[in-house]
Amino acid sequence: MKAQDIALVTGSSSGIGFETALLLARNGFNTYASIRNLEKSKNIAQIGNKEKLPLQVVQLDVNDYRSVKEAIDKVVAENQRIDVLVNNAGYGLLGALEDLSIEEIKAQFETNFFGVVRVTQQVIPVMRKQNAGTIINVSSVGGRIGIPGLSAYHSTKFALEGLSESISHELEPFGIRVVVIEPGVIRTNIMNSSIIAKKAQDTKSPYFSFVQQVERSFKSAMENTSASSPPEEVAKVVLQVVTSESPKLRYAVGNDASSIIQAKTTMSDTEFGGLIKQQFPSYA
């Protein structure tokens, strides 16, 4: 890391983005914590001011091209470079495919996938010009495996995995590194920002009970400290990546993520499907 390395983190109002922005700033990165709704910036701004961190909040809505461009133009105008981009903004959508509207699925992709594309496309020319940079895309263990009730969410993360792998080859000749972070169950407020599809909330839906079970299962896992990891663990991996001379393409974060990805790669599809059914017995 150079003395004036510049980092931009999307989705920094809470959870993984919040902890990542703070940890990077605490380790000397001049960090821009981007937040869609600046009303949610008070907490991170107060911590930054109290600790006198090289951190400032910038408004950025990954769904809005103008907002993305203005935020990145601001960072470049003030620093003439961007060394680290952490694409973290996203949310979950619960519901079986039959209960999802096309509009709900498009909205999920708009934030979780196309939001990454918008920000990354604006940052690539900056990094290419400086012949250096690291792009970190926060995916999920759900970018490697699929479970029922989260088909739209998993689809966005599978897409992000493919995008990341492809551009890692495209950008390597320009000194730009691309890394995918794959967290398991992380103790964040993602369930508060997640959306249950409108039809999935109807008690007449054939999937109603199951979707309720999925929601309860995730909330329970997040409350169980032995079954989940704090967002600080993801932030630590991000710091490890940006300070490494030769980072890997993928990093699973959390014991649950590592074990389930290992199972996915060593089991047959039938065997792994049986494992999923064990986790959701009422649907089996």
Residue numbers annotated as active site: 139, 153, 157
Token pair of 276 as six digits: 């999923």
Q: Residues 6 or more apart from 229 whose CB is under 8 A from it?
A: 183, 184, 185, 186, 187, 253, 254, 255, 256
One-letter amino acid identity for 284? A
The whole-angstrom separation of Cα 83 and Cα 140 is 23
Sort 3 into a burial class: Cβ within 10 Å, 0-12 / 13-18 / 19+. Answer: exposed
Token pair listed for 107: 């909205």
CA torsion sign for 132, 120, 39, 187 is negative
- Buried/exposed 5-29: b ≥16 CB within 10 Å, e otherwise: bbbbbbbbbbbbbbbbbbbbbbbeb
Computed over its alpha carbons, how large is the radius of gyration of the chain?
19
